[in-house]
Structure 1
């Protein structure tokens, strides 16, 4: 069995995620601000940035990581024994690691799920409900999914029927070829 490594170091990943903030903010927030106005938007968002924010953020991180785990567990029909949670001190990033190889499409679904459920859906709903807070929370969790987005971009040249394995020590994955 051969393995091809696709990884980013923590500093480079954080740089890419930081660069993602502008386009993500532009796509998620600017249309909302255009319709509601800058001042009303920020007054509502500012009201969120008190103690509620310090409850929202850690609980959101927990839900984000659980969405990865639950999606991969369901798609691969495996239990929690195949999941490892941790924190990368160098990149200041929590992570969920699935210990078994899986088809690329399963890895993509599990990687995209938190950004879709916690980011994209709230942003879309914010337009229907006119909620600046929902818009900002969606933006925040889309940005928090930046590492996932970068990882998914790294997968674009990998055949969707190949098997990938979460890298056990680094940020990224291994493409596993059976010989």
Structure 2
């Protein structure tokens, strides 16, 4: 079997770091407009224990649905449910839904974008129209959860829509395994990638991840103050 023609991947921890860097712009583009239109409510977050549990439960459910929507997007393409593996990158605490067979890049992109559109952009739009803060905030959280998907979409820019793409067995991103005019190629397994160099492995420390997340949060808070002003 031939090795993949090209890769558009990131190690899971690096993907988390870059996703954390997107926190501020996502906050400014989602929460900022709500604050400008409706202002901050007197009680922005649930305070009663039951309300807190319900909101946290909705978030956890959203994370699970996020991966399920990835799987649904792959199945809408050229894959089956048996071709989709669910799990967690424990080092980066990142859940994933991994398609183990090549699909067309157009279908791959739809599978990537589906959770952010349904769980993020959908509630965000409802919240902005109705002025319901928690709905807007939930959409924001789901968009943050989809930050890694946005990164993959970004690094796949330029890949033809008909090219064959498969999830990387070990990293975040895809392998471009064949051109658009090629027949469906065989799946790429971890054994096929065993000889790849580990020089681009996960070298990002947790402290750097925490710093970037804190910095993004501070920038977001500053943006909120500007919006409220």
Scaled by the length of structure 1, what TM-score is found?
Answer: 0.91
Q: Secondary structure at the match of 2:45?
A: helix
The correspondence for 1:71, drawn from 61, 64, 73, is 73
The root-mean-square deviation of aligned C-alpha atoms, in Å, is 1.7
The correspondence for 2:62, drawn from 54, 60, 63, is 60
Q: Which runs of 5+ in 1 are unaligned?
A: none
State how 1:17-166 maps to structure 2 within 5 Å: 17-38=19-40, 40=41, 43-47=43-47, 50-76=52-78, 78-166=79-167
* CA apart distance, 1:129: 1.5
Q: Secondary structure at the match of 1:119?
A: helix
Higher strand share: 1
Scaled by the length of structure 2, what TM-score is found?
Answer: 0.72
Q: Secondary structure at the match of 1:94?
A: strand
Q: Which runs of 5+ in 2 are unaligned?
A: 183-229
Alignment coverage as a number of residue pairs:
176
Q: Secondary structure at the match of 2:85?
A: strand
Verify the 8 A CA contact 2:124 2:140 in the aligned structure 1.
Answer: yes
1:56-80: CA deviations, max 9, x gaps? 122111100000101111222x432
* CA apart distance, 1:36: 1.8
Higher helix share: 1
Structure 1 segments, 4+ long, off by >2 Å, are 44-49
Q: Secondary structure at the match of 1:6?
A: strand
Q: Secondary structure at the match of 1:141?
A: helix
Q: Secondary structure at the match of 1:44?
A: coil
Q: Higher mean Cα deviation, 137-146 or 43-52?
A: 43-52
